[in-house]
């Protein structure tokens, strides 16, 4: 299922309200949904939302806590992971974000805040390969994404899969992580296809 403890952007652009609710549980259809510790799967995911969506979530339930321009949801998604909403000043504009933080780690919220500001303060819009793959996963309908099952080699099982158009061969099921650059470009919206990758330090 490709768990990753790293803080990671999972959607490019500002998510609409339907997109926001859909991305709250991007891993809804994972195998053994109720049997695994899903903390590594969700912890660290973040994406941008609009001001109206930020305010809407603030008004749904009394927050667990409010710290300046941040608040946490009272309902936990899994274990000690919950939604944290941010209103951050970036390049003189207030922008709003949702992130999943593990509140068992006292530094997680501040680490998330710093990471978002750093990522969104880049002078040129860029997307890493990992961000491209996460955007594709976030924006693909459930009918066209899933997880490798018993028919796959042992090492591939439970990894994320995607249905892609394979030319004359028709549609093909492929591991998300194995998409070629051309397949990635074909799955991205036109405005995202040619964004540069960050230059390695």
Q: DSSP string covering 27-64, please?
A: TTT-TTTTTS--HHHHTTEEEEE-HHHHHHHHHHS--S
Sheet holding 70-78, edge to edge: 8-15, 45-49, 93-102, 81-90, 70-78, 65-67
Q: DSSP 3-state assignment of 22?
A: helix
Q: pLDDT per residue over 104-143, tens digit each?
A: 998 999 999 999 999 998 766 778 889 889 999 999 988 8
Largest pairwise CA distance in the chain? 56
Inter-residue contact 101 to 82 (CB < 8 Å): yes
Lowest mean pLDDT among 17-21, 38-42, 87-91, 149-153: 38-42
Instruction: Give dist(CA 97, CA 127) in Å, integer.
Output: 17
Question: What tokens does 129 get?
Answer: 């390969």
For residue 19, is pLDDT > 80? yes
Q: pTM, whole model, 2 decimals?
A: 0.85
For residue 200, is pLDDT > 80? no
144 secondary structure, DSSP code: G
Inter-residue contact 158 to 148 (CB < 8 Å): yes
């Amino acid at each position: 299922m490709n768990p990753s403890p790293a803080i990671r952007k999972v959607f490019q652009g500002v998510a609409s309200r339907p997109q926001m609710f859909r991305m709250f549980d991007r891993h809804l259809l994972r195998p053994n949904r109720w049997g695994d510790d899903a903390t590594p799967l969700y912890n660290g995911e973040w994406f941008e939302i609009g001001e109206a969506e930020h305010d809407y979530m603030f008004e749904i339930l009394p927050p667990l806590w409010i710290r300046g321009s941040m608040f946490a949801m009272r309902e936990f998604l899994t274990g000690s992971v919950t939604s944290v909403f941010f209103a951050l000043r970036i390049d003189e504009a207030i922008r709003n974000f949702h992130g999943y933080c593990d509140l068992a780690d006292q530094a997680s919220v501040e680490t998330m805040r710093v990471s978002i500001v750093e990522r969104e303060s880049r002078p040129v819009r860029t997307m890493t390969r990992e961000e491209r793959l996460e955007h594709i996963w976030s924006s693909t309908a459930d009918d066209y994404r899933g997880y490798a099952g018993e028919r796959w080699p042992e090492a591939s099982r439970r990894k994320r899969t995607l249905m892609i158009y394979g030319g004359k061969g028709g549609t093909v099921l492929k591991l998300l992580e194995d998409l070629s650059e051309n397949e990635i470009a074909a799955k991205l919206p036109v405005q995202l296809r040619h964004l540069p990758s960050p230059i390695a330090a």
